[in-house]
Chains A and B, each alone.
Chain A
Amino acid sequence: MTMKSRLFMVLASALLIGLFFVPMWSITLEAPQYPKGYELGILISINEVRGANEFDLQNVNGLNHYIGMKPIDEKAIPELEYMPLIVGVLIAVGLLTSLIGKRQLVIVWLVLLLIAGTLGMYDFYRWEYDYGHNLDPRAAIKIPGMSYQPPLFGSEKLLNITAYSYPALGSYLILLSVALAGWAWWASRKAATKLPLATAGT
């Protein structure tokens, strides 16, 4: 790998540090009672689930009790404990890759990232399914056949609430990281074909 490719790999790994600080996903709930500008928002990071505004999570939980949805409680989500570890390992492997400078390791890293991302999305879906379907049978509002699973991606109207589910800054950081790593791999491929010629002279 060229110095430039190594540097890009460092950058690609370093970008993932951002995941500790910015949310990866955002769910926004809009309703007649929570109009534009005053929507409720939930922001999901690798290490926390919080409201977009100070009391949004509390208010979402307050509304959800009518349909018997269990409250969103960080303590009940073990992923928030081990997702930071996974991301930490990915960062370490990425940095190691750039140190060792083996091109194939970049692919390994990208595959690891892809697996982590896919598992993450699946896990997210699983939680959404659980919150949306696993309802208290004594709930005040019960509509036969109705579940309240927010969409994985996009928007959906659930009773009076329209839920919007979209990637947040963290997801874009991952995309950028993938692009940088891909570039590092691509650039060093060219380098690999050229390098023997260049080194032949020395």
Chain B
Amino acid sequence: MKSMLTLLLISSIATSALFFTGCSGGTDTKAIGSVADAAMKVYVAPGAKDEFYDFASGGFSGQMAVIGLPSGRLIRVIPVFSMDPEKAYGFSEETKPMLMTSHGFIPWDDSHHPEFSMSDGVPDGRFLFINANNTPRVARIDLTDFRTKEILEIPNSSGNHSSPFTTENSEYIVAGTRFSLPIPNEDVSIQAYSEKFKGTLSFVKMDKATGRLSLAFQLMMPGFDYDLAHAGKGPSHDWIFFSCYNTEKANTMLEINASQNDKDFIVAVNWKKCEELAAQGKGQIVNVSYAHNIYNDETHTASSVMEKDVRILTSADTKGNVYYMPTPKSPHGCDVAPNGELIVGGGKLATVIPVLSFSKMLKAIQDGKIDKEIDGIPVLNYKACLAGEVEKPGLGPLHTEFDDKGFAYTSMFVSSEIVKWSLKDFKVVDRVPTYYSIGHLGIPGGDTKKPWGKYVLAYNKITKDRFLPTGPELFQSAQLYDITGEKMKLLLDFPTIGEPHYAQACPADLIVKNSKKIYQLAQNKHPYATKKEADARVVRKGNEVHVYMTSIRSHFAPDNIEGIKVGDKVYWHITNLEQDWDVPHGFAVLGANNSELLIMPGETCTLLWEPKTPGIYPFYCTDFCSALHQEMQGYVRVSPSGSSTALTWNSRK
């Protein structure tokens, strides 16, 4: 009966979809096939939950979008590199240190590539890493509470694009320079590019127990643009691969000048050997300064320290452990098949998709098949490393993901399609259009040892007419395709935030089982926590006023405060005493040059407020917490600077 009803519902959705097709002409029925089938596959009934979590980078929003699959519903936005007034991220005293860098406080960045923490080549559901492209940083997000817990700045780098790809057990998270620079950075002529500018490949170590990051070492590389990366797995466990373009070393009009060489490179680095060399004290320690920001779960507070020194290994130090493999032409994606043997280069301007072989690469090294050296780094022979080329794949290949049945899926930006090809004979077996101009694509676990080959997602760069128009500025569109059959089938269009680049998806169970519901008040070690209403108070220290406030349905304590003076710095330290799932309380005060606070159960958050004129200032709870939420308010009296109004507050005993 239930399934009959569902069928009925689905077919009515399908009918209306067909009806609208007649009106707007927007649905490509050829790509979809049966609309009813497609609707059935993405329909998540009310109360039911999605099968997969999809974490899509927010691109120029600097954040991370959490999407449920197959519904395409946006279920959360995690602030990472950009301030978020809704969550007070970067506004509260506790989270301001997260956005500190060697350049000072930075309110924004461009986040590109999420990457799961891995155990034995598959996502372990613990952490998610993501890179900041503009001011090079790597962030670690905790998947128990979907919060950013650590941000590490990468020195000697610019345009941190080939990041944060991780090795098979997340031993290392890498960060490669897209924009080469003088290292150390200095005031030189841009014309000195080819001789003075260098790239670096950074290796960030993750502590297995805590997830804490530390910059282990950097490789000094020729001044190319290091674009994307993926680590080896299985047989290629010890190696990691980076694509690079601009091997012409152009410093102007790159669109022409960096598109001259017929082949650029994929760099192969034996990280295991480099780790040993670093441990032996090879290379040299260079004095640098970079921010390391850590959010403490017990104090609910972040701290930022400036780290010094990094070990840099040059090609002389790493001899025999770093190689260039020629790859046509200006490669972007650098993707390793589940078997760890095949490395696919996405040559943006290439007419083929080159597939390199790890075992052939080892043999070429052994047999000395070396064409030349660049700054001491051997360039292996292309043919000697080549497993095969995918002929006539389409135009503008960018990225490749893999399923669990021996097929690869490559995104084609220029011809706006996904091309499915066989890893056995490198023959194209299917292609579907994307709407429009796909960038990255994603299959749950599609860059791991064990892909869950149920869907492929297209993350597009151009939206045009896919949704109702919203003026010149549009959300980017994404598409979901069913890949369980021989032919890919379009199922769904959905909007995304910012501009998603890469995304990572995994079965929901992996994350659901560890999901936190509250923060334990008993374990709250915030120095300004107020754990019971009786302890609520206001303390003056010179012109600093600390309000130790509690919130619980449906009141603040205290809720009347007098004796604040113009010129005071008022710190509202608010502890949410609730220990119940999904009962946050908010806080906002009139005229604050600041955001609201949104305080989770058991958490303490601090808002700095500097009132400028005498008067009465109401404050209130901004999150509709209960039936008497509208009553959850209070008043604070601000007197002129130097007035004799005594500091008083009420308490409810």
Contact = CB atoms under 8 A, between A and B. Distances in A.
Nearest to A160: B627
B553 interface: yes
Contacts of A38: 581
A66 B628 CA distance: 9
A62 B576 CA distance: 13
Contacts of A58: 579
A140 B629 CA distance: 12
A58 B553 CA distance: 12
A142 to B, nearest CB: 13
The main secondary structure of chain B at its interface with chain A is loop
A28 to B, nearest CB: 16
B628 A140 contact: yes
B227 interface: no
A55 B627 CA distance: 21
The main secondary structure of chain A at its interface with chain B is loop
A125 B626 CA distance: 30
Nearest to B627: A66
B25 to A, nearest CB: 42
B578 interface: yes
Contacts of A55: 518, 579-580
B580 A59 contact: yes
Contacts of A59: 579-580
A62 B581 contact: no
B552 interface: yes
A141 B553 CA distance: 14
Interface in A106-145: 140-141
A59 B580 CA distance: 7
Contacts of A66: 626-628
Interface in B155-179: none
Interface string B570-602: 000000001111000000000000000000000
Nearest to A63: B553
Interface residues of B, number: 11
Contact of A62 (B518, B578, B627, B631): B578
Residue of A54, A55, A140, A141 contacting most chain B CB atoms (<10 Å): A55
A141 B579 contact: no
Interface in A18-42: 38
Interface string A35-74: 0001000000000000000110011001000100000000
B221 to A, nearest CB: 53
B628 A62 contact: no
Nearest to B520: A54
B92 to A, nearest CB: 25
A66 B129 CA distance: 44
Nearest to A140: B628
A102 B318 CA distance: 92
Interface string B613-633: 000000000000011100100
Contacts of A140: 627-628, 631
B326 to A, nearest CB: 57
Nearest to A141: B627
A52 B626 CA distance: 23
A54 B579 contact: yes
Nearest to B602: A55
Contact of B552 (A54, A62, A141): A62
A100 B518 CA distance: 56
Contacts of B580: 55, 59, 62
A38 to B, nearest CB: 7
A38 B580 CA distance: 10
B514 to A, nearest CB: 17
A38 B626 CA distance: 17
B46 to A, nearest CB: 12
A188 to B, nearest CB: 53
A38 B518 CA distance: 14
A58 B518 CA distance: 14
Nearest to A40: B580
B602 to A, nearest CB: 10
A33 to B, nearest CB: 9
Residue of A58, A62, A66 contacting most chain B CB atoms (<10 Å): A62
Contacts of B578: 62
Contacts of B552: 62
Nearest to B552: A62
Interface string A136-159: 000011000000000000000000
Interface in B484-528: 518
Contacts of B553: 62
Nearest to A38: B581
A71 B586 CA distance: 25
A54 B581 CA distance: 12
A38 B583 CA distance: 14
Contacts of B518: 55
B523 to A, nearest CB: 12
A141 B627 CA distance: 10
Interface in B344-361: none
A59 B579 CA distance: 7
Nearest to A59: B580
Contacts of B628: 66, 140
A70 to B, nearest CB: 16
Nearest to A58: B579
B292 to A, nearest CB: 35
A26 B578 CA distance: 23
A59 B518 CA distance: 13
A66 B632 CA distance: 13
A168 B553 CA distance: 31
A141 B626 CA distance: 12
B416 to A, nearest CB: 44
A66 B552 CA distance: 12
Nearest to A62: B553
Nearest to B579: A55
Nearest to B517: A38
Contacts of B627: 66, 140-141
B518 to A, nearest CB: 8
Contacts of B626: 66
Contacts of B631: 140
Interface string B552-582: 1100000000000000000000000011110
Contacts of B581: 38
Contacts of A141: 627
A191 B581 CA distance: 60
Contacts of A54: 579
Interface string B24-44: 000000000000000000000
A171 to B, nearest CB: 29
Nearest to B553: A62
A55 B519 CA distance: 12
A66 B581 CA distance: 19
A54 B517 CA distance: 12
Residue of B552, B553, B580, B627 contacting most chain A CB atoms (<10 Å): B580
A54 B521 CA distance: 12
A140 B555 CA distance: 12
A55 B552 CA distance: 14
Nearest to B631: A140
A100 to B, nearest CB: 50
Nearest to B628: A140
Nearest to A55: B579
A55 B581 CA distance: 10
9 A-B pairs closest in CB distance: A55-B579, A59-B580, A140-B628, A58-B579, A62-B553, A55-B580, A66-B627, A62-B552, A38-B581
Given A58-B579, A140-B628, 9 more contacts: A38-B581, A55-B579, A55-B580, A59-B580, A62-B553, A62-B578, A66-B626, A66-B627, A66-B628
8 contacts: A55-B518, A59-B579, A59-B580, A62-B553, A62-B578, A66-B626, A140-B628, A140-B631
Interface of A: 38, 54-55, 58-59, 62, 66, 140-141
